[in-house]
Amino acid sequence: MTRYLLRRTGLLLLAFALAVTILFVVLRVLGNPVFALISVGATDAEIAAAAARLGVDRPIWEQFASYIGQLLSFDLGQSFTNRLNVGDEIVRRLNVTLPLTLLSFALSVIIAVPVGFFAAWKSRTWYGTTFSAVSQLGGAIPVFWVGILLVAVLSLGWRLFPAGGFPRTDWEDPGAALYSLALPVITIAIVAGSDLARYVRSATLDILGQQYLRAARAAGQSFGTALWRHGVRNGVVPLISILAIQLSTTFVGAVIIERVFALPGLGDMLLVGIKEQDFPSVQGVLLFSTALVLVLGFIADVLQRIIDPRLRDSLSGNRRTKARA
């Protein structure tokens, strides 16, 4: 297990290093932040002065070395446009994006588990098929389209929720903050829950067809007892990686849907940074998102090996088999 953790950690760091390199190069190739800061008709001297002030007049390898030095000191730099510290700005905007992500993920799990289980349990009935079809349809609809539709119906039509915005007092009034996040949370949970329900249905169908479940029923155990004692543990292992992927997808959906509901989170910071070619802001948001996805995948892999002894002992078992051969 220790050897696996070291190897998996090395792969995690390598993947993050590749992401840092690719992102840095792609941004420099696709844009030049100087032209976003100077006025129309600027002279060559003004353009050169702006490039020197931003540090983009140096060779790209020097810029990259300087950026790596900043990252090693946990410094994401300053925004080109507003001169704010990018790391502090990300932390501030996580006050919106993180609760939105976690609440949406929790609601999607609450929706997906019973829907997916029922669709699998009653898969040979018309209502089980209907549940499955509805979940597939919900997962196929773009999240921003669902958000626009819910705004039209629940906000503009029935006036149950605000159409967008977030309290200026932030979380000083938790009730107002949660009320402003209600419609975005429902929007993301519908799409994420529909996707997750399909995986729950597939995992449940696989468990229901296993021999060990039939053997437990033949031994006199009830369906619920056999499913809980033997099915849940075996079904949780593949679902852990799915939940990690779903949490990452929910985070990405939160970043996208923030623009629809005018929420001051990471999505707004990212889009403004792209529009203004603010390299530090764009890099900061994308690197944070990449690191989150990689860490979630790492945690999911480790949890799978802790829960399933077959995965935990596979490496040592393979070594013993080779040694005997």
Domain annotation for the chain: domains and CATH numbers: 2-72 (no CATH), 86-324 (1.10.3720.10)
pTM (2 d.p.): 0.84
Residue 244's pLDDT is what?
87
Residue 119's pLDDT is what?
85
Please name which of 261, 207, 211 lies closest in space to residue 233, comparing C-alpha atoms: 207
In tens, the pLDDT along 278-312 reads: 888 999 999 999 999 899 989 888 888 877 666 66
Q: Where are the beta strands (DSSP E) in 76-183?
A: none
Tokens 């429902």 correspond to 186
d(CA 170, CA 124): 49
d(CA 310, CA 317): 9
Q: Which amino acid is at 148?
A: I
Collect the ranges in the chain with pLDDT lower than 70: 36, 39-41, 233, 235, 308-325
In tens, the pLDDT along 22-54 reads: 999 888 877 777 776 776 667 778 778 878 887
Instruction: Please answer whether residues 25 and 60 qualify as being in contact, where contact means their C-beta atoms are separated by less than 8 angstroms.
Output: yes
Residue 81's pLDDT is what?
82
Please name which of 86, 66, 89 lies closest in space to residue 76, comparing C-alpha atoms: 86
Q: How many CB atoms lie within 10 A of CB 84?
A: 13
Classify residue 41 as left (phi > 0), alpha (psi -120 to 50) or beta. left
Residue 317's pLDDT is what?
47
Residue 133's pLDDT is what?
82
Phi and psi angles of residue 315, each rounded to the nearest 5 degrees, phi first:
-65, -45
Residue 113's pLDDT is what?
87
